[in-house]
């Protein structure tokens, strides 16, 4: 698959015009700490939230993770769970895995196992490993 290259200005223009994929891609750029030119977690949060509000499942997962870990925003477990739940319920495997991990840390093993199982059904390898470890503990 050939991915077309898009320049920053075009990506920014598309994001400002409301394209959720562009907003999420722009957020990914701002969240990449290896890219010192663009690294800005507050900008990443801004664009993830814009895309998440439009139902972009990856962005919902990412903004949930930001709130969960306090990356670019203050930690807020309610907002984290809200966004991760949206992503997970929409079927995004990484969102299911992340939500399962959050439930495991609460701990709510029943919910953790459920969401890890859902991610595992989609082939998410880390979810399969985590699920196996949980079941070994029980």
The domains found in the chain, sorted by start residue, are 7-86 (1.25.40.10), 91-138 (no CATH)
> Confidence class of residue 3 from pLDDT cuts 50, 70 and 90?
very low
Single pTM value for the model: 0.89
DSSP output for 52-111 = HHTT-HHHHHHHHHHHHHTSSS---HHHHHHHHHHHHHTT-HHHHHHHHHHHHHTT-HHH
> Confidence class of residue 63 from pLDDT cuts 50, 70 and 90?
very high
């Amino acid at each position: 698959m050939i991915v077309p290259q898009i320049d920053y200005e075009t990506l920014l223009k598309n994001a400002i015009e409301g394209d959720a994929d562009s907003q999420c891609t722009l957020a990914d750029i701002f969240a990449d700490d290896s890219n010192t030119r663009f690294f800005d977690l507050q900008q990443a949060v801004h664009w993830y939230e814009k895309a998440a509000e439009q139902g972009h499942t990856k962005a919902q997962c990412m903004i949930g993770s930001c709130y969960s870990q306090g990356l670019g925003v203050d930690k807020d477990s309610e907002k984290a769970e809200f966004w991760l739940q949206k992503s997970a319920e929409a079927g995004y495997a990484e969102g299911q895995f992340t939500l399962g991990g959050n439930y495991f840390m609460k701990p709510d093993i029943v919910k953790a196992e459920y969401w890890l199982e859902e991610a595992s059904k989609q082939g998410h390898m880390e979810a399969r490993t985590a699920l196996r470890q949980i079941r070994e503990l029980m």
